[in-house]
Chain A
Amino acid sequence: MSEHLPALLVVVPLLLAPVAALVGRWKVAWAVAAAACWWTLYASVSLLQRIRVEGPISYELGGWVPPYGIEYRIDLVSIFVAIIVAAIGAVTIPYARTSIAKEVEEDRGPLFYAAFLLCLSGLLGISVTGDVFNVFVFLEISSLSAYSMIALGKDRRALTASFQYLIMGSVGASFIVIGIGLMYVMTGTLNMADLAVRLPEVADNRTIPVAFTFLTVGITLKLALFPLHLWLPNAYTYAPSAVTAFIASTATKVSVYLLLRFFFTIFGETFSYEAMQLDMVLMPLSIVAILAMSLVAIYQANVKRLLAFSSVAQIGYMVLGISFGSVLGVTAGIIHLFNHALMKGALFMAMGCVMYSVGSVRIEKMAGLGKRMPWTMAAFVGGGLSLIGVPATVGFVSKWYLVQAALEQGSWAIAGVVMVGSLMALIYVWKVVEVAYFQEPDPDHEIREAPLSLLLPTWALVAASFYFGIDASLTADVATQAAETLIGGIQ
């Protein structure tokens, strides 16, 4: 059984999804989904332990030898991302039980959990597969289920947000599949390790740069790099709270992983950064993302929307780290991947608590919430501190690495950009804190603290964001090793 763990990691949630849809009663469906989520967490953690001892795992799906068959190739980078996805899934699912029951019509409950499991298995599949076409298939599984989950939001604008995401997401996925096709036609292989060997032989042909370009545009659309982020703010704002918390901390992260995988493992650092000058594209865009999106976030009246724009800015930090192309820069990117998942998960969950008790997340409705919902708002402040990058939070660790990576390149200006971004984060977090703590609550409205079933998952993420902020040795170790594997190519 443990031998087949790489496949089971993906297959178990995939098979339990129709079960969850068919059982009919939403409580049973929830139990099925929860079992699947916790199983994936267990599987991914035990895979991590195996990889740390034995090195990368190669699993032949159906016994077909790679490169002919589909290979699941799990190295440290893949499992790191898989653990993020599985852990966020495992924390979101108890949260979803209360939150979804309130925000989604009851008869749609089982279908929601089915979509949730499909999304989970798609995201896990992307992170473990070693076959580029398989990446596309899993990408579509996760995206299609994400569109349908976003459309479940009660606000009718959730529908248009979902539609917009569907159009842009499908175009992005088609671009990726065109890029994969062009790589295939030049090399005759779809296996990532095989591609990495064969691509340099044909790199002079113009088809390969074209494939590279299509992939770059497709992936940056999926990870919502400015200016291809237009689908993100509405999708995050109007989706049910649990969905926002899950997708915000996993979907874009997995796309960042794809970026790393394609540009470092498959094309190789030399081709991406020297021949194609990827950094000349990614660096300016990510700097604009950090500055412009933080600025836009400051002016939002809807806190979920504010956090969504902040997400685009934070993705800017990750891509900025990657655009350095150095071990330290990629380490910073990977660490921020993990850290941002924790803090944005916590923040969106806190907003879900507000949504549950208040029924709105507009900033003016949150007056005096610090007194009425002390635990929720304290969690928001905790996550917010991380977003700003206060020492002893995960946000500080990310920014520490990022600034180091910038200084290593001798670029004081970029270190300055990171600092300015943090200051802007201070402004938009403060805006919420000020309303919640320094304004008097509306005496006519009776607002109670959110139930424990919502607070516990929220606080689990907040606690994790402080824990990994104080003791960053584990994440920093794994991220550094992962960055070294990526830059050194496939070992």
Chain B
Amino acid sequence: MTALGLFNYWAVIVLMMVGFYTLIARSNLVKKLIGLNIFQTSVILMYVSFGKVTGGTAPILVEAAHAEEVGETAEAVGGVGAEVVEAVEVAGEAILYSNPLPHVLMLTAIVVGVATLALGLSLVVRIKEAYGTIEEHELLDGPS
């Protein structure tokens, strides 16, 4: 049960290993970069999973403030029963946020990943121009 509950983390580990293996084992430089990207993506998934709170909603402030407001007015007016309970429930649920910070951090990490990939690919283009190949074993064996 717990093992299934940690599905996200299993996915992270699988992705990480797939990326890492590709990075190490593949000779083609573009494939290496793809491996690197999968590896970095797994880190992003890991962070996003950290931020998820069970039953938590998206961390948007407006809705909660509105719900509380509704609850307060309902109480002030002296409204009975279901109306108040519902409003308070909405307020209670809305207060349970998912943690937004890891998501924000991952925006930065995505930018970094894109920059790395762009630089890596442009290096591959230059390597192709200079050596005529992008296979690592051919680069190493070739005339120096």
Contacts and interface: CB of A to CB of B under 8 A. Distances in A.
Contacts of A178: 43, 46
Interface in A151-203: 151, 156-157, 159-160, 162-163, 166-167, 170-171, 173-174, 177-178, 181, 184-185
A75 interface: no
Contacts of A156: 127, 130-131
A377 B46 CA distance: 53
Interface in B3-20: 20
Interface stretch (A48-56, A88-96, A140-148, A274-282): A140-148
A133 interface: yes
B126 A159 contact: yes
Contacts of A148: 119
Contacts of B46: 178, 181
A8 interface: no
B112 A137 contact: yes
A185 B119 contact: no
Contacts of B124: 163
A174 B23 contact: no
Interface in A470-488: none
Given A140-B116, A170-B116, A177 B50 contact: no
B139 A147 contact: no
Which of A151, A157, A160, A184 has the largest count of B CB atoms less than 10 A from its CB? A160
Contact of B123 (A163, A170, A171, A184): A163
B124 to A, nearest CB: 7
B29 A174 contact: no
Range class of the B interface residue count: 20 to 34
A166 B43 contact: no
Interface in B52-89: none
Contacts of B144: 157
Contacts of A181: 43, 46-47, 50, 102
B119 A166 contact: yes
Contacts of A157: 144
A328 B131 CA distance: 50
A151 B115 contact: no
Contacts of B123: 147, 151, 159, 162-163, 166
Nearest to A189: B101
Contacts of A171: 20, 23, 36, 39
A146 to B, nearest CB: 11
Contacts of A160: 127, 131, 139
Interface of B: 20, 23, 29, 32-33, 36, 39-40, 43, 46-47, 50, 102, 105, 108-109, 112, 115-116, 119-120, 123-124, 126-127, 130-131, 139, 144
17 contacts: A133-B108, A140-B116, A144-B116, A144-B119, A147-B119, A156-B130, A157-B144, A160-B131, A160-B139, A162-B123, A163-B120, A163-B123, A166-B120, A167-B120, A171-B23, A173-B112, A174-B40
